Amino acid sequence: MHSPIPDAAYVRRFNARLAELNSPARVALTRLDAHSGMLELRDDEENFLELIPGDASPDMAAIAFRLYARGYNLGVRGGEESAFAKLRHLIGAANASIPFPMNMRG
């Protein structure tokens, strides 16, 4: 059975349900003709994340967004940890190269 193409009223109801679920995710109609039965899953800043089926439930969209956010946050933290490790290494290398007596390590 083929799903109907989502319209603006459907998107409003879908987003209202996402808000009831306390999800920052939102959906929008896609402008891609080849994907007219799909919705665009967007973050709280309206950035496009992924296409989801037009007949997906708001509950599933909220779960998909939570998984995306979890992965994104883990990636950001991993990048921060790597950057701080590199910074600590560079600070240590710079400190080790300062000649005595400016290097007061003893």
What burial letters (b/e) apply to 45-71, b meaning 16+ CB within 10 Å? eeeebeebebebebeebbebbeeebee
81-90 tens-digit pLDDT: 887 787 777 7
User: In angstroms, rounded to a whole number, what is the distance separating the alpha carbons of residues 24 and 99?
Assistant: 54
Is the pTM value of this prediction over 0.85? no
H/E element, 72: helix 58-96
| Confidence (pLDDT) at 105 | 52
26-56 tens-digit pLDDT: 999 988 777 778 999 999 999 999 999 999 9
18-34 tens-digit pLDDT: 999 999 999 999 887 77
User: In angstroms, rounded to a whole number, what is the distance separating the alpha carbons of residues 58 and 13?
Assistant: 9
